[in-house]
Amino acid sequence: MIGLYITACASGSRAVGGRRNAVSTIERRLSALCWAYAQRGLALDRRDRHIATVLAGIRNTHAAPPKQKEAILPKDLRAMLATCDPGTLRGLRDRAMLLIGFAGGLRRSEITGLDMDREQSADARGWIRILPEGLLITLRGKTGWREVEIGPGSSPATCPVVALETWLRFARISQGPLFRRITAGEPGPMRLNDREVARLVKRAALAAGLRGDLPESGRGALFAGHSLRAGLASSAEIDERFVQKHLGHASAEMTRRYQRRRDRFRVNLTRAAGL
């Protein structure tokens, strides 16, 4: 019965969202089924041959490589920062979010989940420490805690530490959530939803005219919160190990997915083998 249900989901997903969406939709629904079974004290083994056979057939027919978001490179980020009004609290906040997100290679939930110090909010994902050498961010991730160091920039205009300190000073934030909603020109107590990061990136990218060769509707779909992480991974001219650690990836292969400008043939094993 589960196999028939999965096949029906595949047909419905194809009709609505195309081949690539079909596989991800089925995976999500199967995960929900497994959770529902577990809540009732029952077991649903995804490795059961009936389920595995149907899923394998669907993947072989409909799976496709994930469509990657456009990487925001340093020149793009500078253009986006210029669209944020430094004379308003919203502009100061948005500048700090863009620079911290880029320099830290942070996920959007990690950006909005930051507090001024540890254990200040129940929904926090981490906290910050402003040191003389730069900014130290402590994050709670899927695989445990990790620390991210953000050094000062080469110019005050693009320095993430300066941008954060300026936002905190003018917003008068000394504890609790770092990035907050602004109502009637004043920061409130509520932290931003992580979806606001994606909206900010899209809005700033469009305002900066990035990918002006495409229509506006097409340009908006190219950028998201992950564009900041991909931009850092693609721009940092350092050993790949340090990029992997900074982004919190468990494998180098995951890091390479973010490196849009990576030279895939830099290491030539054919010549190294003597051919």
CATH code of the domain containing 191 = 1.10.443.10
| Segments forming the whole domain that contains residue 19 | 2-62
Rounded to whole angstroms, how far apart are CA atoms 191 and 121? 10
Does residue 67 form part of some domain?
Answer: no
Band (pLDDT 50/70/90 cuts) for residue 134 is: very high
Does residue 213 or residue 90 have the better pLDDT? Answer: 90
Instruction: Write the pLDDT tens digit of every residue in 249-265.
Output: 566 566 566 555 555 55
Tell me the C-alpha distance between 92 and 270, whole Å.
Answer: 51
| Residue 268 forms part of a structural domain | no
Does some domain include residue 150?
A: yes
270 within a domain of the structure (yes/no) = no
Domain count, the chain: 2
Domain match, 121 and 233 both: yes
In a domain, 226, yes or no: yes
Backbone angles phi, psi at 150, to 5 degrees: -120, 115
Q: Give domain status of residue 263, yes or no.
A: no
Residue 266 lies in a domain: no
In a shared domain, residues 17 and 135: no
Residue 198 and residue 267: Cα distance in Å, rounded? 35
Q: What is the pLDDT of residues 69-82, one digit of tens each?
A: 778 888 999 999 99
Asked whether residue 16 carries a pLDDT value surpassing 50, the answer given is no
Listed in order, strand segments (DSSP E) in 27-84 are none
For residues 23 and 152, state if they share a domain: no
Query: What is the model's pLDDT at position 152?
Result: 92
Res. 218: pLDDT tops 50: yes
Please check whether residues 122 and 242 belong to one and the same domain: yes
Mean per-residue pLDDT of the chain: 81
Highest mean pLDDT among 12-21, 125-134, 141-150 belongs to 125-134
Residue 220 has pLDDT above 70, yes or no: yes
Whether residues 196 and 84 share a domain: the answer is yes
Quick check: is 267 in a domain? no
Which residue do the tokens 């340009």 mark?
A: 219
- Give the contacts of 268 (CB within 8 A, at least 6 positions apart): none
Q: What is this structure's pTM?
A: 0.71
Higher pLDDT, 210 or 141: 210
- 50 and 180 within one domain: no
Q: Is there a single domain that holds both residue 132 and residue 248?
A: yes
Same-domain pairing of 48 and 168: no
Residue 232 CB burial class (10 angstroms; 0-12, 13-18, ≥19): buried
At position 60, the amino acid (one-letter code) is N
Output the pLDDT for position 177: 95
Q: In terms of domains, do 108 and 199 share one?
A: yes
- Phi, psi angles (nearest 5°) of residue 173: -105, 120
pLDDT of residue 195: 93
